[in-house]
Chains A and B, each alone.
Chain A
């Protein structure tokens, strides 16, 4: 199968603490890949690197983007080398990525994400949350919008239709004019996933989507994740602590501990892996 995301030898440290020490694994296209590990293993750090919020000190992050292959760390800008002064292209790239670069380019290349502690636009309505996410697709021509030109309204209507459609799928249709902050916790989680899907991603990264949900809601969420993988043709990359959910939905599991990958494989392989058991239960095993 095609590798959608290739992570090679990723190293990140904060101050003196080494959060990631040479993490290497791939996410294959069309799968649901789970990243698990004890607290503080560095799971969210991997996510933040993949989605461009942290810059790795070293290592490769390659993503098969919507149009072409993307080197994620390059999008975040780099330190200046004096040689760049002599190559116009190098200088241009440096300027471009250091001034205009950043995590939004990663998102534009096709990686969407949700957050551990939900980050919705709480004072905006549910529907507006989804419209913001389609910022890239709607017409930004100010004049066209002022005079209500066709080119503007068609695009705008397409965005509205997609938003409404997603709300139906996520059973949030009747709340579209509510403020996002007023929704219940479970709905907010769903809305955040719906919003991430709005940017037409190839890869969607879910950071502990089941945290704080009850068993029923977790089961619904599992079904929903399977559904979006099928219907929206996205690859799902998920961090989750709920093992029953992970085992049920994922095709591939990566286990992280102390900033290192200690095991990879199918749920069955991981379940019976001795290192994994000892990492989770302590060193006795």
Chain B
């Protein structure tokens, strides 16, 4: 291809982008509605369109360079042949390569020592990040592994949060009781939702779950007597062995944490406690989910994502497999909800809007559908990055949206694609040498 043609192509694409964005995005950028009047000038539309056109040409340039450099690396030699024909031995699955293992341990190390240096603020950011890690891991089971696009995932998060707040108020359930209670209730609701949607595929399932999530939010919003409606509801602070993390004990004869240890009161202890518990829960969840992936149930989830009909022809009950995915994901979200409520001390329906579902979905998609380390990384990046880039806060959603589209086009498997387990057979050592 001649460079002249290429240049023409660049100009053509640049101009198309310019005109299209000028027509579509231009008017909204140029003028602002001020009551019944408008302000602004068309100059801003020019600037926005020009920027996009330049961006388009740059992307084209990068793409063509990449294509020139690409070498044929297809097929063959990806996996070395297995020398040993021995069928008995010690079987071991290798799920992650050395790099991800190192990364995970490093992340864990940072998570453990960070609170010692960061102080109160770092703790709160850490808690938010961990809550999203939990939510991401939960949705990852449903969307990433089982391939069921759930757009109402936030409903289970809400159920968890409200079951803690309302459970404490009406049933006297404490923080520790609320965790299994919320997990169970969310799992139950997950099954309840899953039953009718079992026969649906892809898009319909997405819309029904979306409707379900909105129904839950609207009920929380409108049922004033029970949930407090838009005004929300107070959630009690957590306790450890009956020790409260408040300035003074709420119950008579109660002891608070700082009185028990004879130290000065500080709200840091409460955050530290939530942080530590959450870290433990996250670690356990990561451990459990990565184990499940190599179990029959985890394999069945993935097989269901690949081909439901083939699954049925192999005697796999798609009903129970789907139910288990929904229930498992929902219960993790429920636990995340309890921590959210305990950390905030106050919840209202605005925390459980569709946007939240979309954010969790973005975490799973950007991290890599089905990939546990990917989801963890994405959750941390998507919660910590906005904190660092405070001045761009209003562009946050825009950036999420753009990265979702770009990711689907450029790397549909996410930043850290799901690594298939590879089987290692360690031959049993022969005792008698010949």
Interchain CA distance A178-B288 in the complex, whole Å: 26
Interchain CA distance A156-B91 in the complex, whole Å: 9
CB of A149, distance to nearest CB on chain B (Å): 12
Interface segment out of the listed A9-17, A32-40, A97-105, A223-231: A97-105
A268 within 8 A of B: no
Chain A 57-88 near chain B by CB (<8 Å), digits 1 or 0? 00000000000000000000000000000000
Chain A 113-146 near chain B by CB (<8 Å), digits 1 or 0? 1010001111111011001111110111010011
Question: Using Cβ atoms and an 8 Å threshold, which residues of chain B touch A125?
Answer: 420-422
Question: Using Cβ atoms and an 8 Å threshold, which residues of chain B touch A133?
Answer: 314
CB of B7, distance to nearest CB on chain A (Å): 39
Question: Using Cβ atoms and an 8 Å threshold, which residues of chain A touch B81?
Answer: 174
Which A220-243 residues sit within 8 Å CB-CB of chain B? none
The size class of the interface chain A forms with chain B is 35 or more
The answer to whether A115 and B310 touch (CB under 8 A), given A131-B299, A132-B316, A168-B87, is yes
The answer to whether A142 and B297 touch (CB under 8 A), given A113-B313, A121-B303, A160-B423, is yes
A217 within 8 A of B: no
Interchain CA distance A64-B309 in the complex, whole Å: 23
Please tell me which one of the listed residues A128, A142, A174 contacts residue B292 in the complex, with CB atoms under 8 A apart.
A142
B295 within 8 A of A: yes
A139 touches B288 (CB 8 A): no
The winner among A107, A139, A161 for most chain B CB atoms within 10 A is A107
Please tell me which one of the listed residues B82, B297, B306, B318 contacts residue A102 in the complex, with CB atoms under 8 A apart.
B318
B253 within 8 A of A: no
Question: Using Cβ atoms and an 8 Å threshold, which residues of chain A touch B316?
Answer: 104, 107, 132, 135-136
B79 touches A161 (CB 8 A): no
The answer to whether A145 and B319 touch (CB under 8 A), given A168-B87, A174-B81, is no
Q: Which B residue's beta carbon lies closest to that of A137?
A: B296
A108 within 8 A of B: yes
Question: Using Cβ atoms and an 8 Å threshold, which residues of chain B touch A165?
Answer: 87
Please tell me which one of the listed residues B88, B291, B421 contacts residue A145 in the complex, with CB atoms under 8 A apart.
B291
Interchain CA distance A18-B280 in the complex, whole Å: 62
Please tell me which one of the listed residues B85, B307, B315, B319 contacts residue A99 in the complex, with CB atoms under 8 A apart.
B319
The answer to whether A121 and B302 touch (CB under 8 A), given A104-B312, A108-B315, A160-B423, is yes
A250 within 8 A of B: no
B317 within 8 A of A: yes
B202 within 8 A of A: no
Interchain CA distance A168-B84 in the complex, whole Å: 12
Chain A 164-191 near chain B by CB (<8 Å), digits 1 or 0? 1100100001101111001000000000
Interchain CA distance A113-B313 in the complex, whole Å: 6
A51 within 8 A of B: yes
B300 within 8 A of A: yes
A140 touches B297 (CB 8 A): yes
B310 touches A121 (CB 8 A): yes
Question: Using Cβ atoms and an 8 Å threshold, which residues of chain B touch A196?
Answer: 313-314
B88 touches A173 (CB 8 A): no
A176 touches B311 (CB 8 A): no
CB of B357, distance to nearest CB on chain A (Å): 25
B303 touches A132 (CB 8 A): yes
CB of B87, distance to nearest CB on chain A (Å): 5
Please tell me which one of the listed residues B291, B300, B306, B421 contacts residue A122 in the complex, with CB atoms under 8 A apart.
B306
B423 touches A127 (CB 8 A): yes
Question: Using Cβ atoms and an 8 Å threshold, which residues of chain B touch A102?
Answer: 312, 317-319
Question: Using Cβ atoms and an 8 Å threshold, which residues of chain B touch A142?
Answer: 292, 295, 297
Question: Using Cβ atoms and an 8 Å threshold, which residues of chain B touch A182?
Answer: 75
The answer to whether A53 and B309 touch (CB under 8 A), given A104-B315, A177-B79, A177-B423, is yes
The winner among B288, B310, B422, B423 for most chain A CB atoms within 10 A is B310
A195 within 8 A of B: yes
Q: Which B residue's beta carbon lies closest to that of A103?
A: B312
Interchain CA distance A164-B295 in the complex, whole Å: 17
B313 touches A176 (CB 8 A): no
CB of A165, distance to nearest CB on chain B (Å): 6
B312 touches A107 (CB 8 A): yes
Q: Which B residue's beta carbon lies closest to that of A184?
A: B75
Interchain CA distance A108-B88 in the complex, whole Å: 28
Interchain CA distance A102-B296 in the complex, whole Å: 20
Interchain CA distance A115-B81 in the complex, whole Å: 29
Q: Which B residue's beta carbon lies closest to that of A102?
A: B312
A100 touches B313 (CB 8 A): no
Interchain CA distance A201-B312 in the complex, whole Å: 14
CB of A119, distance to nearest CB on chain B (Å): 4
Interchain CA distance A198-B296 in the complex, whole Å: 14
A112 within 8 A of B: yes
Interchain CA distance A146-B289 in the complex, whole Å: 9
Question: Using Cβ atoms and an 8 Å threshold, which residues of chain B touch A124?
Answer: 299, 302-303, 306, 420
Between-chain CB contacts (< 8 Å), 17 pairs: A53-B309, A100-B317, A102-B312, A102-B319, A104-B311, A104-B312, A104-B314, A104-B318, A115-B310, A123-B306, A131-B296, A132-B314, A134-B296, A135-B300, A142-B297, A145-B291, A145-B295
User: Residues of A at under 8 Å CB distance from B?
Assistant: 51-53, 99-100, 102-105, 107-108, 112-113, 115, 119-125, 127-128, 131-136, 138-140, 142, 145-146, 156-157, 160-161, 164-165, 168, 173-174, 176-179, 182, 195-196, 198-199
Given contacts A132-B314, A136-B315, A177-B79, 18 further A-B contacts (CB under 8 A): A52-B312, A53-B312, A104-B315, A104-B318, A107-B312, A107-B314, A112-B314, A124-B302, A127-B423, A128-B299, A131-B296, A132-B303, A135-B314, A139-B296, A157-B91, A177-B420, A178-B79, A179-B420
